[in-house]
């Protein structure tokens, strides 16, 4: 709790704001009045320290299809080998294939998925690139 809020809390027995808090922060704390020894149960809402938590980076994948004749085969193979990716949306590939495009946006991939996606696409003969999303 912020020091300012601590001063607004008063002992229910004697009205003193001279309270001792526990060493370890928790959701329900028992504060002790230093003047009369009275106990005060306080529900606390501390913000967690998220400074040490790192998120994952996102990459955008692009596939380059050699020709219109190869497109349907590539579509079927890509849908299968990229199914592991959390943000992969196969229906978007279908739309691009139906539109006759030969450069397909594969969507977003988390940093730990990129290497697996590169290898999987290379194994089926589809050239890809992955660039960091802004």
| pLDDT digits 0-9 by tens, 1-26 | 454 455 578 898 998 989 999 999 88
Question: Does one domain contain both 66 and 41?
Answer: no
Question: Does one domain contain both 40 and 4?
Answer: yes
- Within a domain: residue 51? no
Q: Domain total for the chain?
A: 2
CB contact set of 41 (below 8 Å; sequence gap of 6+): 28, 29, 30, 31
d(CA 45, CA 24): 13
**Residue 96: what pLDDT?**
95
% of the chain surpassing 90 pLDDT: 72
- As beta bridge partners, residue 128 has 63
pTM of the model: 0.61
DSSP 84-124: TSTT--HHHHHHHHHTT-SEEEEEEEEHHHHHHHHHHHHHT
Mean pLDDT within 64-74? 93
Where in the sequence is the domain holding 35, given as residue range(s)? 1-46
- Within a domain: residue 68? yes
Residue with tokens 């279908």: 94
- Within a domain: residue 104? yes
Predicted confidence (pLDDT) at residue 42 exceeds the cutoff of 70: yes
**How many other C-beta atoms are found inside a 10 Å radius of the C-beta of residue 96?**
19
pLDDT band at 48 (very low <50, low <70, confident <90, very high): confident
- Within a domain: residue 29? yes
């Amino acid at each position: 709790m912020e020091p300012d809020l601590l001063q607004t809390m008063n002992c229910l027995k004697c009205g003193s704001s001279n309270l001792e808090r526990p060493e370890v922060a928790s959701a329900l704390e028992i504060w002790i009045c230093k003047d009369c020894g009275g106990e005060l149960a306080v529900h606390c809402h501390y913000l967690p320290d998220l400074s040490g938590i790192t998120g994952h980076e996102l990459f955008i994948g692009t596939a380059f299809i050699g020709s219109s004749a190869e497109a349907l085969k590539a579509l079927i193979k890509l849908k299968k080998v990229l199914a592991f990716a959390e943000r992969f949306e196969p229906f978007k590939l279908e739309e691009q294939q139906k539109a006759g495009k030969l450069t397909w946006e594969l969507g977003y991939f988390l940093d730990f998925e990129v290497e697996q996606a590169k290898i999987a696409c290379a194994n089926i003969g589809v050239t890809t690139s992955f660039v960091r999303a802004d």
